[in-house]
Amino acid sequence: MKNFSDYIVYVDESGDHSLTSIDEDYPIFVLAFSIFDKDTYIKNIVPKFQALKFKYFGHDIVIFHENDIRRRKGMFQKLYTKEIYTNFMNDLSQIIKDVDFKIITCVIDKTKLKQTQLNENPYHIALTSCLTQFNHFTNEHNQSENNTHIVVEKRGYKEDSELELEFRRLCDNRNYNLNIVLADKKTNSIGLQLSDMIARPIGRNFINPNENNRAYEIIEKKLYKAKKPQPKVEA
């Protein structure tokens, strides 16, 4: 039995992966891996998010979804005044800024991809890119021999089956020690909820890098960059 990794990854996406119908306002697909050291996640990240929920909602059952927060839907209707909403967003942004985690991402321009006539699934292309980058991460942190879990929200039986098949194919072909965990959208996981707030700001920055994007300014500092191999020194 292999040891478990020191890290866990939560995955989220922005946009859809269809090449048949492309939204002119958002013609991209974004996949984002949020990588957490488990010890930091347990002792620092989860408590901060739980405290934020209790502060504004009085309980921790509320699930943070970027779209619901932005549109003040569902539970987030309680942020009914501009002052309360602004304070909440400032607190949320400060937590994301302060907590320690890394982000791996891939943005697919679906219009350009369609023009190549490769007819490849944007999700599978992005998944390959993110897993390749994450493999560099595990090597750098001496975790490549340990088993890491990748947690992804369920989307539907067909989509989940295709994703799991592609994930296992990639891992088997490249000897990645990774396990996929498909989680229900209603799962109250802090990791999934934090990851849910990552992908769209990355997409907005890709479409319009000159747009005022406070969320991306925070995210950018957490983007993982693989270390360059050190040149060999001749004896």
CATH number of residue 22's parent domain? 3.30.420.10
Q: What is the pLDDT of residues 83-112, one digit of tens each?
A: 999 999 999 999 999 999 999 999 999 999
30-81 residue pLDDT tens: 999 999 999 999 999 999 999 999 999 999 999 999 999 998 999 899 888 8
Q: Are residues 7 and 36 in contact, defined by beta-carbon separation less than 8 angstroms?
A: yes
Contacts with 15 (C-beta within 8 Å, 6 or more apart), sequence order: 23, 26, 28, 29, 30, 110, 203
Nearest alpha-carbon partner for 198 in 73, 47, 92: 92
Q: Is residue 179 part of a domain?
A: yes
**Phi-psi region at 169: left, alpha or beta (left = phi > 0; alpha = psi -120 to 50):** alpha
Residue 234 covered by a domain: no
Q: Does any domain span residue 63?
A: yes
State how far Cα 104 lies from the chain centre.
8
For residue 28, is it within any domain?
A: yes
Q: What is the mean pLDDT of residues 202-208?
A: 96
Q: Write the CA distances from 202 to 16, 168, 232, integer angstroms.
A: 15, 27, 36
Q: Tally the domains of the chain.
A: 1
In this structure, is residue 235 part of a structural domain?
no
With bands split at pLDDT 50, 70 and 90, how would you rate the model's confidence at 235? very low
Phi, psi of 27 (to 5 degrees): -85, 35
Percent of the chain whose predicted confidence (pLDDT) is above 70: 95
Domain ranges, residue 42: 4-220
Beta pairing partners, 97: none
Residues contacting 2, CB < 8 A, separation 6+: 145, 146, 147, 177
Provide the pLDDT for residue 228: 64
Is residue 226 domain-resident? no
Question: Residue 191 has what pLDDT?
Answer: 96
Residues 113 and 120: beta-carbon distance below 8 Å = yes
CA 140 – CA 86 distance, rounded (Å): 39
What is the rounded distance in angstroms from the CA atom of residue 101 to the CA atom of residue 60?
A: 22
230 part of a folded domain: no
231 located within any domain? no
Residue 186's pLDDT is: 85
Average confidence (pLDDT) over 112-128: 88
Question: CA 141, 10, 63 angle in degrees (round to 5)?
Answer: 145
